[in-house]
Structure 1
């Protein structure tokens, strides 16, 4: 079975830095032969990560909040239609072996909280120490912060090796 890396982050409110990081992270995930999972919509971090992974030949799963495929990113290979709205966030995190939050928004906060509550490892790719401090209080052994996509993919590999899901080279 393929390892799935969930990349979560702001949609319409993503910053240019969030979008650059997400695109590069998508590429690095694909080049590591990992499967990318996003929220599937054609906006923000989910679209940027999907486009990056697609450019690098990766496999992309999009978990859509709507009941149809009308608003799916062109870069998504497998669209999962949920008709669950924001409740689909639980599917996003439960389906991911590691969750990476690229930037922060209200939906992202809920995904990080659900991931930590489910015992998942979470990497926060952002330069905001306050979000890290907040989540660290609840799960100091499962939440990490990185500053670059390269640091993030290395930490992802380390976590997957710890879980025996990935062999380091």
Structure 2
């Protein structure tokens, strides 16, 4: 019997992503694909979304899913070229719930703005494992409440070990 591949959702800043967050996202995308995980992001051609997709696409056998906020018509912003499967939701920011509920583990890479914060909050509300990768201290203060099950990593290797551990949990 064929087993479903794990889905790792990587969330982070779009247009305002720092160079450091982009570099981490590329490495995280590679790490995810190398382990056979499906990479899920917002699918747009900017910031963490584009970088993590680009990293994943470097690995043979990758699968990159982009959950896009627009409807897919000719007037919409395009997806990043590295997305294998684009899901056009026409839901705007409401698609953040789809991102979270479609992922087995959610990683916030480098922090972000209100959209990324909403994805982190939805992960907590939906009891999805949430890993904060190299986020600013304010993110730790807000999301790492006692008993919430949020984990932190400062580098991609540590993050991938945390993902593996969460995927093994029942």
RMSD: 1.2
Name the residue aligned to 1:103. Answer: 110
Name the residue aligned to 1:64. Answer: 68
20, 41, 44: which one pairs with 2:44? 41
Deviation at 1:130, TM superposition (A): 2.4
113, 131, 137: which one pairs with 2:139? 131
Name the residue aligned to 1:166. Answer: none
Deviation at 1:140, TM superposition (A): 3.0
Return 36-45 or 102-111, whichever deviates more: 102-111
151, 163, 167: which one pairs with 1:156? 163
Deviation at 1:129, TM superposition (A): 2.6
TM-score w.r.t. the length of structure 1 is 0.92
CA contact (8 A) 1:132 1:144 kept: no
**What is the rounded CA distance, in whole Å, between the counterparts of 1:103 and 1:148 in structure 2?**
10
Name the residue aligned to 1:12. Answer: 15
1:119 is the counterpart of 2:123 = no
Give 5+ residue unaligned stretches, structure 2. Answer: none
* Number of residue pairs matched by the alignment: 162
CA contact (8 A) 1:115 1:122 kept: yes
CA contact (8 A) 2:131 2:152 kept: yes
CA contact (8 A) 1:65 1:83 kept: yes
Partner of 2:144, secondary structure, is: helix
Deviation at 1:133, TM superposition (A): 2.2
Partner of 2:78, secondary structure, is: coil
The superposition leaves residues 54-91 of structure 1 with CA deviations (integer Å, 9 ceiling, x where unpaired) of: 01121100000001165100000000000000000000
Partner of 1:17, secondary structure, is: helix
